[in-house]
A and B are shown apart, each in its own frame.
Chain A
Amino acid sequence: MAYLVNTPAEQQQMLDAIGAASVGDLFEQIPAPLRMERPLAIPPALTELELEAHLRDLASRNGGVGSRVCFLGGGAYDHFIPSAVDAIASRSEFYTAYTPYQAEASQGSLQAFFEYQSLICQLTGLGVSNASLYEGGTAVSEAVFMAMRVSDRHRRVVVLGSVHPQARQVCQTYLNQISCELVTVPTPGGVADVAEVVRQLDDQTACLVIQSPNYLGCLEQTRDLCAAARKVGALAIVSCQPLSLGLLTRPGDVRADIAVAEGQSLGIPLQYGGPYLGVLACREEYVRKMPGRLIGETVDREGRRTFVLNLQAREQHIRRDKATSNICTNQGLMALRATVFLSLLGPQGLRETATLCVQKAHYAAARLAAVPGLELVSKSPFFLEFAIRCRGGAGPVLAKARAAGFDLGPALGPEDVPGLSAPEECLLVAVTEQRTKQQIDRLADLLAR
């Protein structure tokens, strides 16, 4: 049997030491009527050689970004991942360890997560970061729950219609149970109208959720929106795109209270949607209301610098139903990848990557907008992603591109951006630093034909 270690002789010695006649005897505590009388109906065992052939066959039936030209966006992006990220994440001292409850045996992971927290603070301009959450969508919900604890307002949350629709859906799922109203401000122009947002905010509002760049790729007026939230005593939650912070003002710079992000762009492969990385950072004064693990620096009995799980009194294994969140695992290995990725890029690499994305995306937008029948959905400034409107619907354009090996999209669904007219004509195009002028030109030429 695969992965078992003891020989039949050793198994017999063990049974003798236990005083059991057979392995079956060990299961006597399970009442007989509850035991399975048949083998599991799952596929038969495969050797490693057979398994590899099977997986290669399955993999060959997918259009991964390596075999296509990827202009897909919508919250996950085809960014370059330097080799050193994989080299460190494949160290089995990291990936086969578990939650660092025993600090003495886990200083490697604990320091790496402390470094992650430090880098996220530097990246977002906020005072404290946790050691990661599941992914960007749940990070928004965790931030909303946190804002309710901080503001002690539990009845009303305002979210911009331009926030990623899946993040809004997750938030709705999380809030459904606790009779908290989730108010969505429509964004027909592709970005929020600050005056309209101000009308929706009141002294019962726990928080305002902003995403910039938003689902359509456009930049919101985050500074004014944060100020509007502050004016009514609500917290401003800004969901950002980490790589954009190489060029753009950071959430902390525009006085956001909580920053969240989908951290996939920080060296994490696409892998059909996960595991990704939920980033959450906030102003220092809210630290004891934060969800998730926190790593702290202290000293050991000899005064040596030591890293530990800190402020655990917030967490489920201590506080149970009074915990700040039910979260138990973080995304340790993904946080490690992001830490290595950010240290490889450094400030200059981050700025250059962001600049390449901006330039290439704007070149692509200009080329595509010049194609008869296509136009940009919004005139607002954008980072690496933009929405185009296709006369005759998004479907035929997507299909034409796909047939030639180019993946665009996703197409917009009816509820994706509340207030947007004729969403069925719209699709997203994302252009990362990996796309070349030649690929962009070929796409534009193809769609013009």
Chain B
Amino acid sequence: MRNTQATQLLSELSSPGRRAARLPPCDVPGLPLESLLPEDQLAPVPPPLPELSEADIIRHFVNLSTKNMSVDTHFYPLGSCTMKYNPKRNERLASLPGLVDLHPHQVPELSQGMLELLYSMQQMLGEIAGLPAVSLQPAAGAQGEFTALLTASAWFRSRGETRTRVLFPASAHGTNPASAALAGFECVQLKGGADGFVDLAELKSQLDSRTAVFMVTNPNTLGMFEKDIAEVARLVHDVGGLVYIDGANMNAICGITRPGDFGGDMMHYNVHKTFTGPHGAGGPGSGPIAVRDFLGPFLPGPVIERTTKPGSAAVYSLRNPPHSIGRVRSFFANVGILVRGYCYLRTLGPAGVRAMSENAVLNANYLLARLKDVLPVPQGDRCMHEFVASAKELKESRGISAMDVAKRLLDHGFHAPTVYFPLVVAEALMIEPTETESKATLDAFVEAIKSIVKEDPEDLHLAPHSTPVSRPDDVRAARQPILRWNPS
């Protein structure tokens, strides 16, 4: 029942002279354009965009939407991505007039409600982190990492120190080294850590007066809490370095333990993950950072300040920190995502935030307990919010790879886990169920995997069978890149 006609490319559906939007007549006295704009800058014709009716466009995109899996339609256990339910109230409230239509250059006197909301967000994120100074500016987690590294760099410079190296374990997200390189640091990847934990001896051997920052994800990318995190932090601090916590996995620990309490000096949040952004098919994100007090003066500006006078309401204003590293983006922040995160945190409250993490961890451990006999989980019997299963034995014994399992899950009505990451586990399937999935869904997922591992491997190499397409030719895509529609 697929409508394949409507999902041709827009330019293929185009018909000369067809239109959707109509503009009102010009109500000011019009002048010849040649008298207003330089002749050599006037284009003879407008850009060759497709020409369509509104009905064409709606049918095109609505049909496209049905070719997606999404959290609202499917269990989406994509490890490290925290694909939880996105509350509908957040969408409605973020669209309220006064919030959605507030111009970024509106003066603070006419933005007090927004500034109060964002100030409160700064406070909540600082409290959950245990790191009181917050910048909401970074547009996503990767930019949060970069911003924090620049902040650290400025702090070191203010102390007359030149530190050139950023360290991270082999299991780190790719953004960690990429951000460090962008910030001008030398990247040092620690060896060892096959069990997922930081190798203390290796860390010690690499730490010295050149160390600026040690970046670590905690819980780590295997979904394990770094058992030696306090010792790790002590070692880094002993050589005068700072500890950065990649907050991608905050969904496991909110209200239970805090980065600032276990030795972190800086961290970023992924508001679109932990606090239900939503994900938007790859963004927009929002990556606020929280840092220790002494780093606060170096944060990007502006930040929001609250002043009170006895007998009158609090006043909110924008201020640049005294030694700010400068801006990392235009305007204030990805405010639309922060408003949704604010709605989420205000709905949960202190007990709800803790229950969120408790149930995320409960769901992950239940899934681990039920799956480990089907697909080995090298890390052991316990995890935090996610775990990494391995199809290594399955591949050796039956020729079924992690990719085969992932692709076949789509036929069973489940999105695939993250595969082949982290690199420290062979044939990795990284599974994060989140707290908003029911036991019944998790049970059905386990049954699906149980049935898949028994299937004919030849058939699995051809999976999925029920999706609009199957097993794209990535090699061809890369060798002869077609990156836009071309008239043929």
Say yes or no: is A187 at the interface (Cβ < 8 Å to chain B). Answer: no
Say yes or no: is B386 at the interface (Cβ < 8 Å to chain A). Answer: no
Contact status of A57 and B477, CB under 8 A, knowing A108-B65, A346-B50: no
Instruction: Contact check, B101 vs A94: say whether CB atoms are below 8 A apart.
Output: no
Query: In the complex, A96 Cα to B406 Cα: how many Å?
Result: 20
Contact status of A276 and B331, CB under 8 A, knowing A35-B257, A84-B58, A359-B28: yes
Instruction: Contact check, A329 vs B415: say whether CB atoms are below 8 A apart.
Output: no
Query: 16 A-B pairs, CB-CB below 8 angstroms?
Result: A6-B362, A26-B358, A61-B114, A62-B102, A84-B20, A95-B278, A102-B415, A117-B484, A271-B99, A272-B335, A294-B481, A296-B477, A298-B473, A346-B20, A347-B47, A349-B23
Instruction: Contact check, B482 vs A296: say whether CB atoms are below 8 A apart.
Output: yes
Closest to A320 in B: B177
Say yes or no: is B182 at the interface (Cβ < 8 Å to chain A). Answer: yes
Contact-residue size bin, chain B (C-beta under 8 Å from the other chain): 35 or more
Which residues, 84 to 122 on B, are CB-close (under 8 Å) to A?
84-87, 89, 91-94, 96-107, 110-114, 116-117, 120
Query: In the complex, A31 Cα to B49 Cα: how many Å?
Result: 60
Query: In the complex, A272 Cα to B100 Cα: how many Å?
Result: 7
Q: Which of A133-141, A193-201, A418-426 contacts B (4 or more CB under 8 A)?
A: A133-141
Say yes or no: is A99 at the interface (Cβ < 8 Å to chain B). Answer: yes
Instruction: Contact check, B93 vs A129: say whether CB atoms are below 8 A apart.
Output: no
Say yes or no: is A445 at the interface (Cβ < 8 Å to chain B). Answer: no
Q: Which of A45-53, A203-211, A229-237, A370-378 contacts B (4 or more CB under 8 A)?
A: A45-53
Instruction: Contact check, B51 vs A347: say whether CB atoms are below 8 A apart.
Output: yes
Total of A-B residue pairs, C-beta within 8 Å: 702
Q: Which residues of A contact B100 (CB under 8 A)?
A: 64, 269-271
Contact status of A27 and B361, CB under 8 A, knowing A52-B89, A249-B43, A300-B472: yes
Say yes or no: is B377 at the interface (Cβ < 8 Å to chain A). Answer: no
Query: In the complex, A248 Cα to B43 Cα: how many Å?
Result: 5
Instruction: Contact check, A170 vs B330: say whether CB atoms are below 8 A apart.
Output: yes
Query: In the complex, A339 Cα to B482 Cα: how many Å?
Result: 18
Contact status of A129 and B484, CB under 8 A, knowing A134-B139, A326-B178, A326-B179: yes
Q: Which residues of B contact A43 (CB under 8 A)?
A: 120, 124, 346, 349
Instruction: Contact check, B332 vs A40: say whether CB atoms are below 8 A apart.
Output: no
Instruction: Contact check, A67 vs B98: say whether CB atoms are below 8 A apart.
Output: yes
B161 to chain A, nearest CB (A): 15
Contact status of A320 and B174, CB under 8 A, knowing A219-B38, A329-B283: yes
Instruction: Contact check, A274 vs B327: say whether CB atoms are below 8 A apart.
Output: no
Instruction: Contact check, A29 vs B225: say whether CB atoms are below 8 A apart.
Output: yes
B450 to chain A, nearest CB (A): 15
Per-residue interface assignment for chain A, residues 72 to 115, with 1 indicating a CB less than 8 Å from any chain B CB and 0 otherwise: 11111010001010011011111111111111111111011111
Query: In the complex, A333 Cα to B436 Cα: how many Å?
Result: 23
Query: In the complex, A247 Cα to B38 Cα: how many Å?
Result: 11
Q: Which residues of B contact A52 (CB under 8 A)?
A: 89, 92-93
Q: Which of B7-15, B198-206, B394-402 contacts A (4 or more CB under 8 A)?
A: B7-15
Instruction: Contact check, A269 vs B384: say whether CB atoms are below 8 A apart.
Output: no
Contact-residue size bin, chain A (C-beta under 8 Å from the other chain): 35 or more
The binding surface of chain B is classed by DSSP as: loop
Instruction: Contact check, A51 vs B89: say whether CB atoms are below 8 A apart.
Output: yes
Instruction: Contact check, B362 vs A91: say whether CB atoms are below 8 A apart.
Output: no
Q: Which residues of A contact B1 (CB under 8 A)?
A: none
Instruction: Contact check, B46 vs A273: say whether CB atoms are below 8 A apart.
Output: no
Q: Which residues of B contact A136 (CB under 8 A)?
A: 330
Instruction: Contact check, A363 vs B28: say whether CB atoms are below 8 A apart.
Output: yes
Instruction: Contact check, B256 vs A30: say whether CB atoms are below 8 A apart.
Output: yes
Per-residue interface assignment for chain A, residues 251 to 291, with 1 indicating a CB less than 8 Å from any chain B CB and 0 otherwise: 00100000000100000011111111000000000010000
B487 to chain A, nearest CB (A): 11
Partner of A355, one of B26, B281, B468: B26
Q: Which residues of A contact B485 (CB under 8 A)?
A: 114-115, 118
Instruction: Contact check, B332 vs A274: say whether CB atoms are below 8 A apart.
Output: yes
Q: Which residues of B contact A352 (CB under 8 A)?
A: 23
Say yes or no: is B78 at the interface (Cβ < 8 Å to chain A). Answer: yes
Contact status of A273 and B38, CB under 8 A, knowing A58-B99, A98-B281, A104-B407: no
Instruction: Contact check, A62 vs B112: say whether CB atoms are below 8 A apart.
Output: yes
Say yes or no: is A21 at the interface (Cβ < 8 Å to chain B). Answer: no
Which residues, 309 to 340 on B, are CB-close (under 8 Å) to A?
325-337, 339
Which residues, 36 to 91 on B, are CB-close (under 8 Å) to A?
36-38, 40-43, 45-52, 54, 57-58, 60-62, 64-74, 76, 78, 81, 83-87, 89, 91
Which residues, 347 to 379 on A, are CB-close (under 8 Å) to B?
347-353, 355-356, 358-360, 362-363
Closest to B231 in A: A31
Q: Which of B68, B84, B370 has the most CB of A within 10 A?
A: B68
